[in-house]
Every structure is written in structure tokens, then in C-alpha cells.
Amino acid sequence: MAKKNSMTFIDNRTGKSYEYPILEATRGPWVVDVRSFYKDTGMFTYDPGFTSTASCNSELTFINGEKGELRYHGIEIEELATQHSYLEVCFLLSQGRLPDKEELHAFDLELRHRSFIHEGLKNLIESFPNTAHPMAILSSAVSALSSFYFEHLNINSEEEFEQMRRRLIAKIPTLAAFSYRHSLGIPFIYPDIERSFTENFLYMMRAYPGGKMHIGRQGEEQIREVEIEALDTIFTLHADHEQNASTTTVRGVASTGAHPYVAISAGISALWGRAHGGANESVIAQLEMIGSVKNVAAFVERAKDPDDNFRLMGFGHRVYKNFDPRAKVLKKLQDRLSDELSLDSELIMIAREIEKIALNDDYFVKRNLYPNIDFYSGVILYALGIPRSMFTPIFVIGRTVGWINQWEEFKKDETSKIARPRQLYIGK
């Protein structure tokens, strides 16, 4: 008899059996559909942290944790990060295919024109104390953006989806750069539509009041091609990553019908945590705290000690039980650009020593703990002169295109419902 594409659960207390369909994936693990489990059995499945739970179906991003593989719409991350620009990747995640030359040119031009923000948002940013972390300002500013484009609460056409998405992708770098300038107490630099997406961000971060770029001693412009290329690659590597904690947050807010921009603001807040996007900032702090290669072994021992809550930031991942493919791309980028970007060799040597010890230590090997994207991104951002407080805002700039397309995928899924898990009650 042909095997049925299903799974049967048997309750050993009663001998009753319950059968559930298996749904096939085009890549990676299949799922057993337990949506009627509570109705059938009066019990819940239990999976805090969702280690074995698929919360949705999606065609945007595929990750193979065992192989260390990452694809956007089927194209491998290494190809995208080394042969395509971040704007091409934004187009791919939004349209499901890479753009042709004309489409890319039109997309680029539109983002440049939409990079300006309402003066009211500038005033909001100025209302924060200079000591405010740029992530606090960014999540508030993106939530406030919903008031300036309130019509996107009810989107009824493809054109409006596209307009809502492009507005946000274009304005995030401006909001992030303004947040940074405010934290220094220096005047904001408005976007320059003659500069590309990634160059413009560095320009808004670095230019002097009046928009003049300080000409370096050799007379060169202070934004070098190699820096633009490095940051563009970092944006691409951060663009999307399946159902991580912040994307799950975005989908959760999408499920209640709130405005898309407040869903992204919630994603920014979730990303800030040091277990997630905040790790890149913590990696550099940790490398500086370790201070020298000779101290590494002692810190690795601390990371292994169950009674010590010290963890190696930038190590481990819920999905990758092999090298994070993004970390591999960044490591090659580091090697390639170490001279041109005068990467901090001491920090890199400490990072390499951590990697060398940890990858051969049974504690890490047994738990499949490998360097993740955050382990390497910090060193390059540090070399780009990006201040540590801006590392996670840069993650936000890269990830916004992923969040907003995951939001749209949720809204277009007729089977989607409000996110409302249950619990194992252990109270009185």
C-alpha cells in the first residue's frame, strides 16, 4: 500500500491515534500540519523559542543550517554579495527577479528622490537627548513615519505596495544618518541625489555642514570606492534571513492589521537585542575588552562555564550549525580589503584567535557553534570609521527590505491569521 504523506500521533494514555498531513517544501525540511491538533486532542504542542516550529510559508529566503547555505529567491548569497549591488538585491527581494539595466536605473533614481524626509521627523529626532542610542531614535522615527504616510494603513493596489516599500527603503538611511548626527550634536546633512544609495549614507554621516566633503591631505574625496563596495556588500548580507526574531516580530504586528511602518519599527526594536542584531556592536566591545591575543584562551573558558553568563558574541546561531555563509563572505572581504581599509590588525588577530581556539574546542564543536555574520561585520564597519553605536542601525538599513517584503508576503497570504499562541499554564 502506498505510504501516505502524513504523520500519526498516538496518545499512549488512551491508545487513540491522530493523523496529520505532511506539507512538502521545495527546499529544506517538510512540515507536519498540526493546525487542528488542539481541536482534535484538547492539547497544545509545546515549543518555546520555536526551535521546531514553522510559523508560515515563504518564498523569499532559504537557509540550510547544516550546509551553511543562504539564498534569496533561489540565488546564493555569495553570488549576490560579490556580483550584484544592494539595490539589485532589494529589487530581487521585492519583485522575485533581478532587474534589467533600465529597471535598476529607474529604481535607483526613485530611491534617491524619496530619500528626503519631512522636516517634522527632523524635529522629532532633535527632541531626543544627544545621549540617545541611534536605535532608540530610529525605531521611534520609523513609527512616526506612519503618521506622515497614514494612507498606507490600507493598501489596495500593487502600485501602492511598491510606493510604500520604496518610500521606506529610501528613507531609512537618512533617518539613521540623522540619528547619528544628532548623537554628536552636529547639524544634519541632507541626502545628495547625485550620490548612490550606499555612498549617500556615508556622505550624510561624514560631510561637513554645508555638505562639503573635507578633502583629505592627498586631496582625495573622503568616500573611497572600496568603502562604498564594502558597505554595499554588508547591506546585501543583511537584507533578509527567513523567520528570525525581528522578522517574526514584524509578521506578528502585521497579523493585527497595524500600519506597515509601525511593524517595521517593532522589528527595529526586536533587532536591537544583543542576542540578535545588537551582537555586532557587542562583538567589537568584546574584542576590545579581551584586549590581546594572549587573553583569548581565558575568555573562551569563561564562555564555556555554565555558571558564567559570559558568551562569545558573534558565535552560535539558531539555524546555522556550520559556518554562517555571510561570515564566509565577510571573512574574504576582510582579507581582500585589510590593507586598503587598514583594518585593525590587533582586533582581527584576536577575532582569528577566538575562531581558532573555539572551532577546535569540544564545547563549541559539540554544540555546533560557529562564527555568525556579526562576528566579522563589526571589524569592517570599525575600519570604515563607523561608530559602534551605528553598527545595528546599519543592520536595520540592510534588513528593512527583508522585513517589508516579509510583511507584504504575510498580508498577501489569504490563509494568514492573527498571531496568537497559547501556553502551558502552571499557575495556581
Of the residues 152, 182, 259, 317, only one is catalytic, namely: 317
Contact predicate 135/274, CB 8 Å: no
Of the residues 232, 240, 324, 374, only one is catalytic, namely: 374
Closest distance to ligand SDX from the beta carbon of 50 (Å): 10
Instruction: Clarify whether 374 is annotated catalytic.
Output: yes
Q: Which residues contact 335 (CB under 8 A, 6 or more apart)?
A: none
Closest distance to ligand SDX from the beta carbon of 212 (Å): 37
Distance from C-alpha of 37 to C-alpha of 34, rounded to nearest angstrom? 5
β-sheet with 31-32: strand ranges across: 6-11, 16-23, 31-32
What phi and psi, each to the nearest 5 degrees, are found at residue 90?
-60, -40
Closest distance to ligand SDX from the beta carbon of 371 (Å): 9
Q: Which is nearer to ligand SDX, 182 or 317 (CB)?
A: 317
Q: Which is nearer to ligand SDX, 84 or 241 (CB)?
A: 241
Q: Which is nearer to ligand SDX, 27 or 318 (CB)?
A: 318
What phi and psi, each to the nearest 5 degrees, are found at residue 39?
-65, -40
H/E stretch holding 61 = strand 61-64
Q: Which is nearer to ligand SDX, 180 or 299 (CB)?
A: 299
Contact predicate 64/75, CB 8 Å: no
Closest distance to ligand SDX from the beta carbon of 348 (Å): 18
Q: Residues in the site for ligand SDX, rule: CB under 6 A?
A: 49, 241, 244, 275-277, 279, 303, 311-319, 367, 369, 372-374
Query: Which triple of cell numbers denotes residue 33?
Result: 500540519
Closest distance to ligand SDX from the beta carbon of 239 (Å): 9
Residue nearest to ligand SDX (CB): 316
Q: Which residues contact 154 (CB under 8 A, 6 or more apart)?
A: none
Q: Which is nearer to ligand SDX, 14 or 52 (CB)?
A: 52
Query: In Å, what is the CA distance from 11 to each residue of 35, 41, 426?
Result: 17, 9, 22
Residues tagged active-site: 317, 374
